[in-house]
Amino acid sequence: MDYSKMIDHTILKPDASKAEVERLCREAIEYGFCSVCVNSSFVYYCAQLLKGSDVKVCTVVGFPLGAMSTEGKTAETLTAVNDGAQEIDMVVHIGMVKSREWEYVKQDIESVVEAAGGNAAVKVILETCLLTDEEKIRVCQIAKEAGAAFVKTSTGFSTGGATVHDVALMRKTVGPVMGVKASGGIRTLETAKKLTAAGADRLGTSSGVKIVKSQKAEEVKAERMKS
């Protein structure tokens, strides 16, 4: 398994500089990552830096709380796609999930999917650490009904990140066709292995370089042991 092709190379911290974002893009090209994931103000900049490469530009919408209006999420999505975003990671309205306002939750997701059109795949961030298993299942079902391409565990800015339990539950709920992205706290190859074994087919992490280097080192060691 080539982990590099599964990694969304991520920098979402509030003090990320242009120099750090540029380095992120250069590393993504060098290591063959699937995408870079940045805040929306950097989308156009990344799109220019990555032009001609296979690396996609991913951005976040309604991040990190998910509590902004649907209209706000829609506008942010339209701007991001216009700037060159190819993937949109939106945060579900967690308060509405807790209120069991399922129609609101569905319309919120559908509006972002519609705004993205056929130009960008939408990933729905559940923020699993704040939800019950019942709520996780329901949001996954709604995200699938609303036309999202992925469900995603976490923002990385709340009380917890991706767990094997949550990834397995999400995979079981959405089935084999829809994507499952694990994010939050993925810092080692061992963690990446556990989460992909549980059903994740995309990994959001700022430790992508470390993970890929660890995988290559492991492969070299295995080859030496054979010879």
CA 11 to CA 17: how far, in whole Å?
A: 10
What SS3 class is residue 80?
helix
Q: Is 181 a catalytic residue?
A: yes
Q: What 3 state SS string does 200-223 have?
A: CCEEEECCHHHHHHHHHHHHHHHH
Token output for 178: 């829809």
Spacing of C-alpha 117 from chain mean position: 18
Q: Which residue has the tokens 């080192």?
A: 217
Q: What are phi and psi of 83, to 5 degrees?
A: -80, -10
Which string of b and e fits 97-117 if b means at least 16 CB within 10 Å?
Answer: beeeeeeebbbbbbbbbebbe
Catalytic residue among 73, 123, 144, 181: 181
Q: Is 89 a catalytic residue?
A: yes
Which residues are identified as catalytic? 89, 152, 181
